[in-house]
Amino acid sequence: MSAPVGYAKNGRGEVAPRTVSILGATGSIGASTADLLRRRPDAYQVEALCSHRNADALARLAREFGARFAAVADPAAYRALKQGLSGSGIEAAAGADSVVEAAQRPADWVMAAIAGSTGLAPTLAAVERGGTVAVANKECLVCAGMLFMSRAAQAGTTVLPVDSEHNAVFQALAAGRREDVRRIMITASGGPFRTWSKEQIRAATVEQALRHPNWSMGPKVTIDSATLMNKGLELIEAHHLFAMDQSAIGILVHAQSIVHGLVEYIDGSVVALMGSPDMRTPIAHCLAWPERIEAPVKSLDLAEVGTLSFEAPDLERFPALKLAREALEAGNGAPTVLNAANEIAVAEFIDRRLGFAGIPALVEATLNEAVRRGAMHEPASVGDAIAIDHTARRLAQSLVPEIAAKTL
Ligand SMILES: NC(=O)c1ccc[n+]([C@@H]2O[C@H](COP(=O)([O-])OP(=O)(O)OC[C@H]3O[C@@H](n4cnc5c(N)ncnc54)[C@H](OP(=O)(O)O)[C@@H]3O)[C@@H](O)[C@H]2O)c1
């Protein structure tokens, strides 16, 4: 007999709570995951949690869930973490290696929700350990997708997509055979500037870009949604997760964020997955897969939504999407460079040293310069991916003044 949802059989054949770890526990995805775990305290045992430097929130979560191990990436946050955990018996650690250790601790299920390519080493460490890894950290797949998927296959790891669009495609793929799939489609809300002119977008402020119409998310992914780079990264993510050629992955702008992903089969049937825009739905799906657990999300009322609209993305106003498609086609490390340059560009924009139009412009200039210098190749190891990422970051950083002068 199979164990009830959230429970796993231990080595002695007894039913025990499923052990889970959250990488990036203090972020937006981490909070949604914690919210679901909180509702079923007897079904899940938290093994490890980690964050960058938010020691107080991490210590609170570790205490609340009775975690066994908590790590901050920033050694300067160690004292605060140690203090926050004093008397709890929870092991505290700090530094990049301890974040990797958090990923390697024995857990049945790991949520990989560190933002950015800094999540590469820990996410890959989780994937190499086996078990089930729910992947939110899309930059990791963009940066080293081939490596990621081959390591997962070698370790027999179940990779479950957290991104709502990929989670939707994953679910819609269950409706047929893989060889009968004609194409997949992911949707984009279009972000806050969907209806803005090119000139208005060029002058967009940080505050305007951070105001997403449908989703509440961390700052990096929110800015990526405004440039549509998020969809570009998701295109690359989908290519790796579903082993689909980029020409068979479509992108649809769908302002209501109700239909998240679609799969078209060779007989013309299109299976779409709908749901209210709330990340707790795909996270709950990953947490309970292949079963289901209840998630505290608003029931979808299509009569209330009224209209579902779809349009093709405008690559002229949102060039980031075109850059991502070209990088995917070029391969050989171009997605790694694209991602690194984008992370620099978003940080510079948030710090107001780059205009909004400077984000895709910096990414394009970095890609061109990396090609000119022959600084790109397909990453063969984590170290290799990190080296390409670091070179691209330095390159992007050096190009900031020139691009800022043109776009501020
Ligand atoms: N939010 C969403 O709705 C959403 C949807 C789909 C996909 N995603 C993807 O999910 C990932 C997380 O997004 P988010 O919105 O949750 O980001 P977020 O709110 O910015 O949270 C990021 C988390 O990662 C931690 N972190 C950052 N650097 C770290 C490091 N070097 N080592 C360990 N932990 C580190 C942060 O810790 P501190 O708190 O200490 O900084 C925080 O816990 C991203 O890849 C994003 O694209 C997010």
pLDDT-derived band of residue 10, with 50, 70 and 90 as boundaries? low
The two structure tokens encoding residue 239: 């290519």
In angstroms, the CA 113 to CA 23 distance is 5
E strand or H helix at 393, and its extent?
A: helix 382-407
Q: What is the average pLDDT value for the chain, to the nearest integer?
A: 96
Q: Give the SS3 label for residue 150.
A: helix
The two structure tokens encoding residue 309: 């609209």
- The residue whose C-alpha atom lies closest to atom 21 belonging to ligand 1 is 27
Give just the sign of the alpha carbon dihedral 396, 398, 400, 406: negative
- Does ligand 1 come within 6 angstroms of the Cβ of 139? yes
Q: Compute the half-sphere exposure of residue 214: CA atoms within 13 Å on the CB side of its CA.
A: 23
**Topology at the third CATH level for domain 331-408:** Rna Polymerase Sigma Factor; Chain: A (1.10.1740)
Residue with tokens 């002068």: 405
Task: Provide the pLDDT for residue 14.
Answer: 72
Strand partners, 187: 252
Q: Does residue 358 carry a pLDDT above 80?
A: yes
Q: Give the SS3 label for residue 161.
A: strand
In angstroms, the CA 284 to CA 289 distance is 8
Instruction: Please state which CATH class domain 7-161 belongs to.
Output: alpha beta
- Does ligand 1 come within 6 angstroms of the Cβ of 218? yes
- Ligand 1 centre distance from Cα of residue 162 (Å): 13
pLDDT-derived band of residue 140, with 50, 70 and 90 as boundaries? very high
- Does ligand 1 come within 6 angstroms of the Cβ of 73? yes
Task: Provide the pLDDT for residue 374.
Answer: 86
Residue from 23, 32, 33, 52 whose mutation best tests the ligand 1 pocket (most atoms within 8 A of CB): 52
- Ligand 1 centre distance from Cα of residue 71 (Å): 15
pLDDT-derived band of residue 216, with 50, 70 and 90 as boundaries? confident
E strand or H helix at 384, and its extent?
A: helix 382-407
Phi, psi of 407 (to 5 degrees): -120, -5
In angstroms, the CA 178 to CA 407 distance is 45
Q: Does residue 238 carry a pLDDT above 70?
A: yes
Q: How far out from the chain centre does Cα 400 lie? A: 25
**259-265 and 270-274: which strand pairing?**
antiparallel
Q: Does residue 210 carry a pLDDT above 80?
A: yes
Domain ranges of the chain: 7-161, 164-315, 331-408
First-last CA distance in the chain: 63
pLDDT-derived band of residue 15, with 50, 70 and 90 as boundaries? confident
**In terms of Cα–Cα distance, which of 209, 223, 222, 23 is closest to 129?**
23
- Ligand 1 centre distance from Cα of residue 24 (Å): 5
Residue from 22, 23, 28 whose mutation best tests the ligand 1 pocket (most atoms within 8 A of CB): 28
- What is the mean predicted confidence (pLDDT) over 307-321? 98
Burial zone of 331 (CB within 10 Å; 0-12 exposed, 13-18 middle, 19+ buried): middle
Tens of pLDDT along 150-186? 999 999 999 999 999 999 999 999 999 999 999 999 9
- Does ligand 1 come within 6 angstroms of the Cβ of 138? yes
- What is the mean predicted confidence (pLDDT) over 129-156? 96
Tens of pLDDT along 365-380? 999 999 999 878 999 9
- What is the mean predicted confidence (pLDDT) over 347-353? 97
- What is the mean predicted confidence (pLDDT) over 94-111? 98
Q: Does residue 408 carry a pLDDT above 80?
A: no
Task: Provide the pLDDT for residue 5.
Answer: 78
Q: What number does the ligand 1 atom closest to the CA of 164 have? A: 6
In angstroms, the CA 169 to CA 298 distance is 21
- Does ligand 1 come within 6 angstroms of the Cβ of 114? yes
Q: What number does the ligand 1 atom closest to the CA of 221 have? A: 47
- Does ligand 1 come within 6 angstroms of the Cβ of 99? yes
- Does ligand 1 come within 6 angstroms of the Cβ of 125? no
**In terms of Cα–Cα distance, which of 225, 229, 204 is closest to 216?**
225
Task: Provide the pLDDT for residue 11.
Answer: 66
- What is the mean predicted confidence (pLDDT) over 328-346? 97
- What is the mean predicted confidence (pLDDT) over 120-125? 97
pTM of the model: 0.96
- What percentage of the chain has pLDDT greater than the value 90? 93
